[in-house]
Structure 1
Amino acid sequence: MAAYINRTISLMSGDGPHNRPPITAVLTDSRGIRTGPDNSPLQIFVKAKKKINDIFVEIEDYVKDTVEYMHEIEKEQKIVNDEKVKQTEEFINKVHGIRDVLCRDHMKVAFFGRTSNGKSSVINAMLRDKILPSGIGHTTNCFLQVEGTTTDEPYLVQEGSTEHCAVESVGQLAHALCKEKLSESTLVKVYWPKNRCLLLRDDVVFVDSPGVDVTPNLDEWIDKHCLDADVFVLVANAESTLMVTEKNFFHKVSMRLSKPNIFILNNRWDASATEPEFLDEVRRQHQERAIDFLVKELKKPRKESFFISAKEVLQARLAEQDQKVSTPLTDGFQTRYFEFQDFERKFEECISKSAVKTKFEQHSQRGKFIASELRNILDGIYNDALKLKEEKLKQRKELNDKINYTEQQLLIITQEMKKKIHTMVEDVEQRVSKALNEEIRRLSTLVDEFNLPFHSEPLVLNVYKKELHLHVETGLGSNLRARLSTALALNMEASQREMTERMDVLIPENRKAASNIILPRRQPFEILYRLNCDNLCADFQEDLEFRFSWGITTLIQRFAGSGANFLALKNKRESPQNSVIPSTPTDVVDNRMLYANASIEDWSLLSRIAIMGATSQGTMGCLLVAGFLFKTVGWRIIVATGAMYGCLYLYERLTWTNKAKEKAFKKQYVQHATRKLRMIVDLTSANCSHQVQQELSGTFARLCHLVDEATSEMDKELKDLEAEVAKLENASGKAKVLRNKANYLAHELELFEDAYLKLHY
């Protein structure tokens, strides 16, 4: 073995037979495993796999964020429909599936050839250990897949099972001479520790096949085990030539894969050492046939065929690991060994480039498609959010202007309606006052219309007065309503209609149906005239005693004027009621003026005598008057005058009937009621105007309340719009961020393609 190592070093220096260009030395450890993996072409795949995995981790997080965002805006805003949300949710499963595939992705190489061409030996030589069963005859009975594991101990798993079996059992399970044979298409996975083989550590998977001449079910093999292979290695027997069965297999592969990468290994080239004189001719023959097959039949770019001895390489590498080997190395081993290394180097470059292309290009395209679709969706959401935001801003401005306009118009209308109500109240007060004064002047007619039987008995008279009070109050009220109600109702209706029309403009259309806006009354407005004659004339005290019209007191009242009337009243029997009745301010003023302007010299003699008779010395005055007349006119005239005076007295006394008493009663009542009613004219007119003011103010207040409710609704709607604008602004901002992140992820995938797909393929 020391001699072998020396010969290897000599060959690396360019010495020895069949000198070849020097090949860059590969650093190995004590077991012959290469170190410095960063310089290996397989690291391209490893780095590319890590890079695209990192990108898809970001894509997965991005899709989840997008779905969460779309669920959020779906509840609050109508800028995304269920179809888009469902479409976005589907991307989660797609990305998750891609990530699962990426985690399982590896560089797969499939070895095919006729039985006993040394496929298993080639794999063992590349793995630097005798892992797969090999030997003479038909050895491998099923498909064997060798891949790396992070565990320290190797194991195998049969197809359809998860049980770990000892790796030593592979010689029994996969050996064609085993009694319990597995089906040719069955796959047995052999897991070998990655720390024992650099190729396995770099995610390379080897697939060994039973032999293309074992069964005609090549289509089933290809579909089941070869469609995801990155490189196909045809292991041919250098002692013979390419057979039809081998060519047919790769024709079928070429039909299913557009650009299959195929290496041709002419194994058992160590047999050429026994016939060195034909070595070059046989080598050239094999190369020409291999090139014809690849270029002319499979339409593949020209590739070299390699002449190796897998058995020798395996023994050499086992010897490098201080394992005992029994078969000696033949002449020309160094050349075959280096050619095997050349194959490995080109194989690593090819499988790395091919795997990166076949494994990651599709994922990269799908990632870009997902990013593009999400970008388009988010771009649509962003534009819709901006458009809806502009609409909401426009609505907010219009609503804000409407609120300001309503408040301004409400202030203007309020001022105008206050003035109108004030004017109408004054007009009503004047109308009622005028009408009531006119009705008071016609009070005697109203009292005369009262025809209830009259009797001077106190009990009957009290009932009569109550009925008269009611008659007067009802009559006055009826007359006032007849004179005023129609005009006032029309004015009230016109005013209420004007208020309603003015306020109707300020209430939005959608609020009118809900607010039941007040319309003018169906029944005319009617003023209640609260005269209350029963209480007003409760102090009325009738005087039904007989009074001779030609009596001294009567004559004094008739001829002496108001001053004499005042003095005559001194002798009148005063009642408590009469003493309580206050005189009106007008009467007081008139009496004072009469007292100031009248003088004792202007009075007639009769007046002076009457005044004297009205004093406490009345009797003496009467005697003096009688004596004065007796001496002046004579007794006959006095007697005649007395007789006539007596007749008049008797006539009046006889005509003082119940009817005369009723007439006197009504006259006294009219005088008393007139005076009392005149006292409440201002109060009544003010009361009526107050009713009108209350009615108009109440109507206007209700209308204002409706406007205030509408304004409150608009304020609430304005706040809702502001909240929606804020949400839309937030939604558009997030959509913009997510859209930009989609561009970022697409750019990352572009950089990945530039770095690993375009540059290295």
Structure 2
Amino acid sequence: MAESSLTWKPQDDPSREKKAFYRSSSVATVAGMPSHSLAVKPKPRESDPLRRFGEAKKRASDLFNRLENVLSRTLAIFRKSERSDEIAEVETFANQVKGIRDVIGRDSMKVVFFGRTSNGKSSCINAMLHQSILPSGIGHTTSCFCSVQGTDSPDAPYLLTSGSNERQNVETVQQLASSLQETSLQHESMVQVFWPRERCRLLKEDVELVDSPGIDISPDSDTWIDKICLDADVFVLVSNAESTLMTTEKQFFHKVSNRLSKPNVFILNNRWDASAGEDQETMRKVREQHLRKDKDFLVNELRVVEKTMAEDRVFFVSAKEVLQSRTEGFDSLTAEGSHDRLREFETFEKKFEACLSQSAISTKFKQHVINGRHISEKTEKMLINMKSTAEARKSQCKDALKDRHEEIAKIDRTRKNSQKEWEQKIMETTSGVHDLVKEALKTEIQRLRELVNGYSANPFSVNNLDTYNEGLCGHLESQFDQKMMASCNSSVSQLMRQAQQEMLCTVQSAIPQHLQMDTSNVVSSQDVVLCYELDFGEICARFQPDLKFKFSWGMTILRHWLGPQVVAGNAVPVETDAPSFALWMSQKITAQSVWPAITVGAAIWQTIGWKVAATLGLGLLCLYGYERLCWTTRVQENAFKEQFVGYTADKLGTVVTMKSRDCKQQVDRELIKSVSHLKGILGDALKQLDDDVSKLERDIDVSTELEKKANGHIFDMETFRSEFEKFSRNYLEEEE
């Protein structure tokens, strides 16, 4: 024991040097020999085992603090990798480590004192604390559980009671925990005394001492095990040396042994000072009897210690004398054998502290260290797996990135090279459309007479020519449009779709298959509707039919044969065709030769005579009458249609080229739209590929970062695993 642990006397005590000498020396007493007759030299104190617990606690706390920090950073990595299952597992590990860290921070070495009423449990605790803190005395003194633990609070010393956080003056422990007081608490209650650490070495080293009521005063002692004993490191059975172990004491510790695996039990045969003045031989036999029964109880009944170690768990002491020597001074011990009893109590303290430290380190840290090592190993495996995944992902992304760049280059080449090809294809297609429409229009113009002759919707009347002409124009427009659509639309649509399909194939060959591009609207699913509408009303707006009766041998015909004549000073153009003879005559006879012709006619009249001339005249008159009778509405309608066909056919010849060009332009616009759509598809494909490139580059960066950080944390976990193993070797295996 350190000197500071033996007394709290003032520093200016004049007998301090003398007391220190006696405290550092051991007095050996044998049967029949005075205790002061043999003195031994002071021995150097061995390393304090309680400090070992503090070192282990500090080391374990540091390990789990650092492990918590690393797990926090590791969790961020897993969250970035979006591995949901492993994220949940690492979160669980982080919470476990946080809980372990908090538990280690609160952990202390807990010692519980049990025994029958008035066996001196409180006195033993006071003796170990070097101060009379807990109530003690004759009879049933302690009424409830009392815990004494150290604190660094400036409010210390103070106490707390069960169910209350109010800090009370420590002096009230005498009223609260003493069964002699009316204000004492019930035996299942707990009074926690917080004492300044610097005043007691045990408390400074995180030792908590728990006093209990007598186990013979309550039938509910079984519940004490669950409330008090499950986390205890050492149990001290304080028995009365004036009697042997009682059944009550044995039964209680049997229950403790059944609930806990091999609890650490010390037996203090207190009040051994009663042997002072007794026959030494008798006391030796009594001691041997107590020792034999106590060892048998520990080894054979409880089976908590080996036989060779049992003697180190049984001690014969006087807590009253120890407390007296540590509060009043060493010289206050005058009873026979008191020095031996003091020395044996110190031996108990040494054995007790070694066992307490060993047990506390094992019970408080062993499972935590196992868990920490398991967490480190498991996390390390997950990090290795994540690193491998990141490496594989990075390799895949690099390969995919290379493919994307090649695909982008291919699309760029297609866009550049296809422009001229598409322009040429459009030119070829529209030229084909132009020729196709032109030929179809010519064919339909050749069928114009058939279409005109087939019109009979409105009755013909010279007086209602405008209505008839309007109906005929409408009929021709309808027939022309239907015939052109039937003969051209399908062929033109086929040409256009063929061109669209060829351009689409060029685009599809450039777009990678993994891109889902909508090309359904590029190739027209329906036939193109070309605009063939011919406004016959406008074409024939200046058509003026000549439906007056004309005698075949009349002056009009003669004028027609003879060419343009001057009639009343005006030139009248004749638009009807003349016989070939009349054409020859019109070319030979001019306006200047009319009078010679009349002269020739008069000569013929004189030559043939008037009879022949009259006969000819009568024949002409009959012919005139016949022709006049035959000039019916039907003939007039045929004449109208004939003139209409001739006029319209001539006008349509100038419209063919214009309409062919319009259809060509219409198809050109459709193909240009298709080209624009194809360019849009290529542009969308490039955008998707550019987005893929950006995403792949980000994935590569993320994978590289994950790989780098995983490497660092794998090393951290290897370090933690090594440190946990080192902790086990230094603190757990060594203790075992």
On whether the aligned pair clears a TM of 0.5, the verdict is yes
In 2: Cα distance, 1:433 partner to 1:180 partner: 124
Q: Percent identity?
A: 36
Residue 263 of structure 2 aligns to a residue whose secondary structure is coil
Name the aligned partner's letter for residue 681 of structure 1.
V
Q: Distance in 2 between matches of 1:60 and 1:263?
A: 38
Q: Given that residues 107 and 351 in structure 1 are in contact (C-alpha distance below 8 angstroms), is that contact kept between their aligned partners in structure 2?
A: yes
Could you tell me which of 343, 348, 368 is aligned with 1:343?
348
In the other structure, the counterpart of 1:126 is: 128
Alignment correspondent of 2:43 = 23
Aligned partner of 2:52 among 38, 44, 56: 44
Aligned to 2:151: 149
Give the superposition deviation at 1:196: 1.4
Is the CA contact (8 Å cut-off) linking 1:379 and 1:735 kept in structure 2?
no
Q: CA deviation at 1:201?
A: 1.6
Alignment correspondent of 2:106:
104
State the alpha-carbon separation in 2 of the partners of residues 533 and 574 from structure 1. Answer: 36
Alpha-carbon distance in 2 for matches of 1:731, 1:485: 69
**Alpha-carbon separation, structure 2, partners of 1:188 and 1:444:** 128
Which residue of the partner structure matches residue 652 of structure 2? 677
* 1:109 partner amino acid: V
2:676 and 2:541 map into 1 onto residues whose CA distance is: 41
Residue in 2 that maps onto 1:361: 366
Deviation at 1:205, TM superposition (A): 1.4
Do the aligned partners of 2:150 and 2:208 also contact (CA within 8 Å) in 1? yes
Matched, 1:254 2:257: yes
Return the alpha-carbon distance in structure 2 between the equivalents of residues 703 and 55 of structure 1. 65
Unaligned 5+ residue runs, structure 2?
A: 1-12, 28-35, 576-580
1:212 and 1:246 in contact (8 A); partners too: yes
Matches within 5 A, 1:580-729: 614-615=590-591, 617-618=592-593, 621-622=596-597, 630=603, 635-637=606-608, 646=617, 650=621, 653-654=624-625, 655=627, 658-659=631-632, 665-691=640-666, 693=668, 700=674, 704=678, 707=681, 711=685, 718=692, 725=699, 729=703
Q: 1:173 and 1:664 mapped to 2: Cα distance?
A: 142
1:227 is matched with: 230
Q: 1:572 to 1:105 in 2, by over 3 A?
A: farther
Residues 114-143 of structure 1, C-alpha deviations (whole Å, 9 max, x = no match):
444433333222211122233344443443
Select between 636-645 and 108-117 the one with higher mean Cα deviation: 636-645
TM-score, scaled relative to structure 1: 0.72
Distance in 1, matches of 2:256 and 2:409, equals: 80
What is the 5 A alignment of 1:301-700? 301=306, 302=309, 303-304=311-312, 305-320=314-329, 328-330=333-335, 333-369=338-374, 422-441=427-446, 443-449=448-454, 460-474=464-478, 476-477=480-481, 480-481=483-484, 485-486=486-487, 488-489=489-490, 492=493, 496=497, 499=500, 520-521=525-526, 527-543=530-546, 568-569=563-564, 571=566, 614-615=590-591, 617-618=592-593, 621-622=596-597, 630=603, 635-637=606-608, 646=617, 650=621, 653-654=624-625, 655=627, 658-659=631-632, 665-691=640-666, 693=668, 700=674
Query: Cα–Cα, structure 1 residues 641 and 58, in superposed 2: closer, same or farther, change >3 Å?
Result: farther
Distance of 1:141 and 1:291 partners within structure 2: 30
Match of 2:212 in 1: 209
Does the CA-based 8 Å contact 1:378-1:736 persist in structure 2?
Answer: yes
2:191 match: 188
* Letter in structure 2 aligned against 1:127: L
How big is the shift at 1:211?
3.9
Match of 2:32 in 1: none
Q: 1:759, 1:267 → 2: CA distance? A: 33
SS at match of 2:262: coil
Kept in 1, the 8 Å contact 2:144–2:190? The answer is yes
Cα separation, partners in 2 of 1:227 and 1:636, compared to 1, 3 Å: closer
Q: Distance in 2 between matches of 1:20 and 1:218?
A: 45
Instruction: Assess if the C-alpha contact under 8 Å between 2:115 and 2:239 holds in 1.
Output: yes
| Superposed displacement of residue 310, structure 1 | 3.0
Name the amino acid aligned to 1:313: V
The answer to whether the Cα contact below 8 Å between 2:118 and 2:137 also exists between their aligned partners in 1 is yes
User: Aligned partner of 1:119: which letter?
Assistant: K
CA distance in 2, matches of 1:513, 1:201: 79
What is the alpha-carbon root mean square deviation over aligned residues?
5.4
Check the 8 A contact 2:515/2:685 in 1, yes or no.
Answer: no
What is the deviation of 1:538? 2.6
- How far apart are 1:208 and its partner, in Å? 2.5
Letter in 2 for 1:350: C
For the structure 1 residues 688 and 186, does the alpha-carbon distance in structure 2 shift closer, same or farther, using more than 3 Å as the test?
Answer: closer
Please tell me whether the aligned partners of residues 497 and 523 of structure 2 are also in contact (alpha carbons under 8 angstroms).
no
Q: In 2, Cα distance between the equivalents of 1:377 and 1:24?
A: 52
Residue 578 of structure 2 corresponds to none
> CA offsets per residue over residues 416-453 of structure 1, 9 Å max, x none?
87666655544443344334434444544554555666
Matched, 1:9 2:21: yes
SS at match of 1:134: coil
Cα distance, 1:24 vs. partner? 1.8
Q: 1:18 to 1:260 in 2, by over 3 A?
A: farther
- Aligned match of 1:589: none
Worse overlay, 111-120 or 202-211: 111-120
491-500 vs 226-235, greater mean Cα deviation? 491-500
Aligned partner of 2:734 in structure 1 is: 759
**Counterpart residue number, 1:588:** none
Aligned length: 693
Matched, 1:80 2:56: no
C-alpha displacement of 1:250: 3.8
- Equivalent pair of 1:43/1:202 in contact (CA under 8 Å): yes
Equivalent position amino acid for 1:315 in 2: Q
Q: Which moved further from structure 2: 748-757 or 641-650?
A: 641-650
Deviations 1:279-305 (CA, angstroms, capped at 9, x unpaired) = 766666655555444444444131424
Q: How many angstroms apart in 2 are the aligned matches of 1:724 and 1:497?
A: 43
CA shift, 1:361, in A, is 1.8
> For residues 224-303 of structure 1, what are the structure 2 equivalents within 5 Å?
224-238=227-241, 242=245, 245-270=248-273, 274-275=277-278, 277-278=280-281, 287=291, 290-299=294-303, 300-301=305-306, 302=309, 303=311
Secondary structure of 1:755's match?
A: helix
Aligned equivalents of 1:477 and 1:288: distance in 2?
A: 131
Residue 675 to residue 174, structure 1, CA distance change in 2 (3 Å):
closer
Provide the rounded CA distance (Å) in 1 between the counterparts of 2:293 and 2:538. Answer: 143
**Distance 1:468-1:105 versus aligned 2 partners, 3 A rule:** closer
Deviation at 1:347, TM superposition (A): 2.4
Is the deviation greater in 262-271 or in 273-282?
A: 273-282
Query: What is the distance in 2 between the residues matched to 1:661 and 1:218?
Result: 140
> What's the offset of the Cα at 1:618?
3.7
Q: How far apart are the structure 2 equivalents of 1:46 and 1:550? A: 149
Structure 1 residues without counterparts, runs of 5 or longer: 27-38, 559-564, 582-603
